[in-house]
Amino acid sequence: MPASEPIIWQFSLSTVNAIVWAALLLLALWFGLRLRWGRLVALIAFLTFDLVVFGGFVRLTDSGLGCPDWPGCYGQLLPAQAKPQIEQAIVEQGGTHGPVSHGKAWIEMLHRYLASFIGAMIVVMLVRALLAQRRGAAPGAVAANAGWQWPALLLIVVIAQGLFGKWTVTLKLMPIVVTTHLMGGMLLLALLVWFWTRQRQREGDLRAMAVAVPTATRTLLWVAIAVLAAQIFLGGWVSTNYAVTACADFPGCNGSLAPEVNWGEGFAFARALGRNADGSFLSIDALRAIHWAHRLGALVAAIVIAWTAIALGRAHPALARQAWLIVLALIAQIAVGIGAVLLSLPLALATAHNALAALLLSTLVVAACRVSGVREWQPFTVSTNLRKAR
């Protein structure tokens, strides 16, 4: 790449590798066109959940710069093709403990392959929805009933997500870019889970049926999603700034419930990894502020989400199972988060913490989708239910 080329526009694949990459994406498109619509939607949602979890694994194993260019690996499609360049980078950094290694290169590229496949599947979804609408699909055709607007929104989000994934690499793991990339993944997952739940409703799945609840309960549910989103951002900010070990005990921070923190330095977003805007190193007080904010946010999120689950369970018996799923995901998330701190962030627990955040978000989104389709509500009683059945 010429030195004068802006780093945000980097495209490192050689012509031959770019053609192979495009051919593989076309093969993915062919595969998606052959899937039944419902299976296509479910597959994309499932793979996006996997992508979010695997993205956390990439970050936690410091593999984000395993291939320091984009979208290739030293201009190649496979890390195996870039073996000489990787070996040279290992020598220059003084060993495999640095950002580049063969294992990290494969981890990073597998993440990119999966993201590319998901993007291709979303293109298939949009094409099929547009064709179904244009042809005036037969009555009951699910793709037509689903409309093209939602797949179009998903495509916009996945394109933006791909750009942030690229800037994560080319801007050298700038914390705000990496955290935004995480939030984009969570947004894409939430949108797909919503779309998948609507699809299940169209297919008559009773476990996804729309349920009327009081306006207060519906509002509380959306507040819980917003609070969880803020908490996920704080968790991402902890991870991208490597602030997990800034507080090594629980419930305090290094033996104190009022640790010394520097909020302004910790939450200055326009800076490089580990540095302040003036180039100086980030202080330990700033790292404590980042970690402590996540702890305080976790307390607020736990209270709001637990309250929401109780309200959902009381609003309608059909939501009792969903409420329990929310509670179980919340309890597991809290336990894993505490364990990650006390055990100094073992990789398995840290990855599980990220996965459970995605799972908790998914359970709340499913609930929100189920209560957003019906507005008329009345207290549920046995006699009311019997009258409706007749």
**In a shared domain, residues 239 and 329:** yes
The token pair that represents 356 in the structure block: 């459970």
How many Cα atoms are found within 13 Å in the side-chain-facing hemisphere of 235?
29
Active-site residue, from 5, 87, 108, 260: 108
DSSP state of 76: B
Is there a catalytic annotation at residue 108? yes
Among residues 175, 204, 233, which one ends one of the domains? 204
**In a shared domain, residues 137 and 257:** no
Listed residue (330, 338, 335, 324) closest to 305, CA to CA: 330
How many Cα atoms are found within 13 Å in the side-chain-facing hemisphere of 108?
31
pLDDT score at 72: 87
pLDDT score at 379: 59
Range of the domain at 141: 1-204
**In a shared domain, residues 215 and 330:** yes
Q: Looking at the 3D structure of the chain, how many domains does it have? A: 2
CA distance 229 to 200: 25
Do 320 and 214 form a contact (C-beta atoms < 8 A)?
no
CA distance 129 to 151: 8
**Can you point out the beta strands (E) in the chain?**
none
pLDDT score at 313: 95
Among residues 204, 230, 264, which one ends one of the domains? 204
pLDDT score at 10: 64
pLDDT, tens digit (0-9, with 9 covering 90-100), for 234-288: 999 999 999 988 998 999 999 999 999 999 999 999 999 999 989 999 999 999 9
Q: Which residue type does 130 have? A: L
**In a shared domain, residues 4 and 129:** yes
**In a shared domain, residues 246 and 365:** yes
The token pair that represents 353 in the structure block: 């913490």
**In a shared domain, residues 157 and 257:** no
Give exposure, 346-360, as e/b (b: 16+ Cβ within 10 Å).
Answer: eeebbbbbbbbbbbb
Which residues are within 8 A (CB) of 45 and not within 5 positions of it... i.e. 6 or more apart? 189, 192, 193, 195, 196
pLDDT score at 275: 93
Could you say which residues of the chain have pLDDT below 50? 1-8, 138-140, 144, 381-390
**In a shared domain, residues 286 and 345:** yes
**In a shared domain, residues 178 and 103:** yes
Listed residue (161, 125, 190, 232) closest to 364, CA to CA: 190
- CB count in 10 Å sphere of residue 255: 9
Among residues 152, 183, 204, which one ends one of the domains? 204
**In a shared domain, residues 286 and 352:** yes
C-alpha separations of 58 from 52, 67, 83, 181, 339 in Å: 10, 12, 20, 12, 20
**In a shared domain, residues 20 and 167:** yes
CA distance 67 to 74: 7
List beta partners, residue 253.
Answer: 256
The helix-helix angle for 347-371 and 175-202 (nearest 10°) equals: 40
**In a shared domain, residues 98 and 52:** yes
pLDDT, tens digit (0-9, with 9 covering 90-100), for 164-218: 998 998 888 999 999 999 999 999 999 999 999 999 998 888 888 999 999 999 9
**In a shared domain, residues 179 and 247:** no
